[in-house]
Structure 1
C-alpha cells in the first residue's frame, strides 16, 4: 500500500435541523449533575458465575480510567475489566462494569475509594459484559440560561414526536478529524492501535449515514417514503425494501409498525432498491473513497432508522431560564441529537 498521505479534507458537521436551527440559546453540561445517564442492560444478571458485576455511580470520571482503578483494587489485569457502555466524563452516570474473578472470593468493594465514585451493587454473572450489551439509557438533562422560553416551549412539543437519528458530533472529532483519519488509513496510513482504528471506522461510517439523513431533511423526505426505501420492523429490527407506496404501506409507517432507514455503509449492494437506492447513491456520490475503504475493511451493509423518538419524554421548567428534560433512548442513540434540536449551545 502507498504511504502517500491524501490532502487533508475538512468534513463539515453542518447537518440539517428537522425543526430549523434553534433560535433559543442555552447552556449544556455546566455541571456534571446537569447530565445524568442511567444505563439498562438487555438481560438479567444470573447472581452466580466467574464475573463480578458492579453497578456504579460516577461523577466527573473517565470510564476507562475507572476500569483500570477497579482492576488494580481487585488485583487483576486491566484486560479482565469490561463495561457495557463508554459514558461521558462530564456527567453523572450509573453504569455496569464486570471483573473476571474466577475461583476467588469476591473482593470487599465497600472499601474501594475514588473521588466521585460509589459502588451501589455487587452481583456475580456467568458472562463478561461486552460493550453494547445495553437495551438503552435513561437521561435527565438540565439546560440553563435559556434565552427564549416561549420559542423553546413550542419546539419541546415537536421534539417529543421525533428528531433526526444522527450520530453525535463528538463521534467525528474537531472539524471531522476522525473521518479524515479514516480516509488516510484507507490510503495507506498504518494505524496499529485497534481502538483508534475502530474509532476512525465508526466515524467514517456514521458520517455517511448522517449525510443521507441531512439530505432527506433538505428534500422533505425524512418521514416521506421513496419507492424501494428499506424499512425496518420496529419490533424485531429485520428489514426489507418497500415494494410499493400503497395506502397499506403508508399506514404501516404511520403507526410505526415499520420505520424508514438509511445505510450504514459496508461491502455488498445496498438493501434499498428502485428510487431509494438511486437517491442514496446520489447523496453519497462525493464520498466514494470512504465507501470503498469501509467495504475493504470488511464491514457489511447495515441499516439504522432515520427518525429517533425519545421515549418517556417529559420536561419541567425549574425557573424562567432553566429546564430539566427526561427521556429514554435505545442503545446506540445520542442524547445530543435531541439537545441540538432544542437549543443553540455554541455561544
Structure 2
C-alpha cells in the first residue's frame, strides 16, 4: 500500500517548496537526549554509539554477539533511522563481568562515544527526546516564503502525526495488522506483533488528528478535550474551558490530546469524544482488533512544538535546521509542513 501519511491534511498551508534530504548521512543527524545520568556503576553497561547506515535492531544483535550474551540482555530506548548519522544509547546486562574491549567493536560505520554503567537497564521510551540537525538541499522555492513558514512552525507547532516510519516500508506493518486481526496470517513473534499493533493504533490516531486539522481545532481547546502537560505524559480533563485553560493552551503549557486506541474507553467526553468514536467506527477493523489485543488505552498530544528551532541558509538553495523533539515524535512531521521532500527513506 502507499504511504499511509501521504494524504493527511496540512495545518499551515502545505509545503512551500520542494527539496532533497539525505544526499549523505551527515544531512540527517539524530542525537538521542537520554534525560538522566547513568550512575557509573552496576551490572548494565551503557554505550553511547554513533552509527551510519545501521539499523538499531541489527546493531543490538551485533552487540549481543560481541558481548557473548543473549540479545534479550541488550536494550535501547527507541528505534533510530538507518539512513543517516544517529547517536543513541544501548545497555548490555553483564552481571559480574568486566566485559569485552569495546574499542574492538568499532567499524567504519560504528563508533563508541561513551561507556559507563548503570544499576538498571535502558528501558524502551526512557529517552527524553532527540536532537536533530538536518540539511535540506536543492530547494526550489523562494527563501522568504520558507522563512515565513519556519516562523509559523516556531510559533504554532505542527500536527503531531505519526510519521511514515511507524507503518513500515510501503505501509507493510499496517497491512500486517489488518491480516493479523482477520486471522489471515501466521502468528507473529512478540516483536513483530508490537510493530503491527503500534501501526494500527497510529493509523486511528492520525485520522483523529486529521479531522481536528480539517476542523481547525487541532491546537485549540474544544469541549470534552483531555489535556497533556508539555514535556510530560500526565493528563487531565478540565471541568470547563475557562480563561485559564485557554491561556495555557495558547501558551503551549498544555496540549489537547487524542486517544491511542486500546481496551478501555477513551477518557475524552463531549465533542472531542464524538470525533474519536466516529473515526474509530470508520476504522472498525483496527479499533476492534486493538481492543481484543488487550492493549492499554493511552493518549498522545495533538500538537508538536519543536524546541530550540533554529535555521540558516548556507546557500540560496540549502537550508540547515536544528531542533529538539520529545521521544516518540518524528522529524518528518515537522518537515512535511515545510518542504515536499524526495530522498527520504525509513
TM-score (norm 1): 0.92
1:40 aligns with 2:33: yes
In structure 2, distance between residues paired with 1:48 and 1:24: 50
Which range is displaced more, 153-162 or 325-334?
Answer: 153-162
**CA-atom RMSD in angstroms:** 1.9
How big is each residue's C-alpha offset from its partner over 1:205-256, in whole Å with a ceiling of 9 and x where there is no partner? 0011110111111111112322111112336432233332332321222223
Question: 1:10: Cα distance to partner?
Answer: 9.4
Which residue of the partner structure matches residue 245 of structure 1? 241
SS of corresponding position for 1:134: coil
Which residue of the partner structure matches residue 332 of structure 1? 328
SS of corresponding position for 1:341: coil
In structure 2, distance between residues paired with 1:331 and 1:257: 17
- CA spacing shift, 1:11–1:73, aligned 2, 3 Å: closer
7, 32, 41: which one pairs with 1:14? 7
Structure 1 contact 26–147 (Cα < 8 Å) conserved: yes
Which residue of the partner structure matches residue 345 of structure 1? 341
SS of corresponding position for 1:284: helix
111, 116, 124: which one pairs with 2:104? 111
Question: 1:109: Cα distance to partner?
Answer: 1.5
Which range is displaced more, 313-322 or 182-191?
Answer: 182-191
Which residue of the partner structure matches residue 319 of structure 1? 315
Which residue of the partner structure matches residue 182 of structure 2? 187
In structure 2, distance between residues paired with 1:10 and 1:26: 18
In structure 2, distance between residues paired with 1:140 and 1:295: 38
SS of corresponding position for 1:97: strand
Structure 2 contact 44–118 (Cα < 8 Å) conserved: yes
Mapping of residues 261-276 of structure 1, within 5 Å = 261-276=257-272
In structure 1, distance between residues paired with 2:271 and 2:128: 33
The answer for unaligned runs of 5 or more in structure 2 is none
Structure 2 contact 137–318 (Cα < 8 Å) conserved: yes
Question: 1:59: Cα distance to partner?
Answer: 1.4
Question: 1:137: Cα distance to partner?
Answer: 0.7
SS of corresponding position for 1:191: coil
Question: 1:346: Cα distance to partner?
Answer: 4.2
11, 19, 23: which one pairs with 2:16? 23
Mapping of residues 1-347 of structure 1, within 5 Å = 13-148=6-141, 149-161=143-155, 162-188=157-183, 189-234=185-230, 236-346=232-342
| Number of aligned residues | 340
SS of corresponding position for 1:329: strand
Structure 2 contact 208–275 (Cα < 8 Å) conserved: no
Structure 1 contact 58–116 (Cα < 8 Å) conserved: yes
Question: 1:175: Cα distance to partner?
Answer: 4.9
Which range is displaced more, 261-270 or 98-107?
Answer: 98-107
- CA spacing shift, 1:81–1:328, aligned 2, 3 Å: same
- CA spacing shift, 1:233–1:72, aligned 2, 3 Å: closer
